[in-house]
Amino acid sequence: MSARYAADNITPGEIESVIRKLTAYSSADLYESNKAIMKLVADGFLLKREDRNQKDLYVQLIDYSALTLG
């Protein structure tokens, strides 16, 4: 992730916040937690930057750029 978003100057703290976001879901309702996590993984999400002067970063955990159609 750090290499992929290096041009956007992603910080180690921001990477940690992404990891916390994915691991903070409750195991009490496993189905709903898994569903929410898979949505984040498949669709991506907006990351609020540590430096509020920087534009929020859209994070995609799966790199779809290498996929080709047909």
Distance CA 47, CA 27 (A): 23
What's the rounded Cα separation, in Å, for the pair 59 and 5?
Answer: 8
Q: Which segments of 1-70 does DSSP mark as H helices, in order?
A: 12-23, 30-43
Tell me the whole-structure pTM to 2 decimals. 0.81
Structure tokens at 18: 């992404």
Helix (H) or strand (E) holding 9: none
Is the pLDDT at 48 greater than 90? The verdict is yes
Residue 69, pLDDT > 80, answer no
Q: Which pLDDT belongs to residue 70?
A: 63
How confident is residue 57, by pLDDT bands cut at 50, 70 and 90? very high
Phi and psi dihedrals of 22, rounded to 5? Answer: -80, -25
13-46 residue pLDDT tens: 999 999 999 999 988 999 999 999 999 999 999 9
Report the pLDDT averaged over residues 36-64.
94
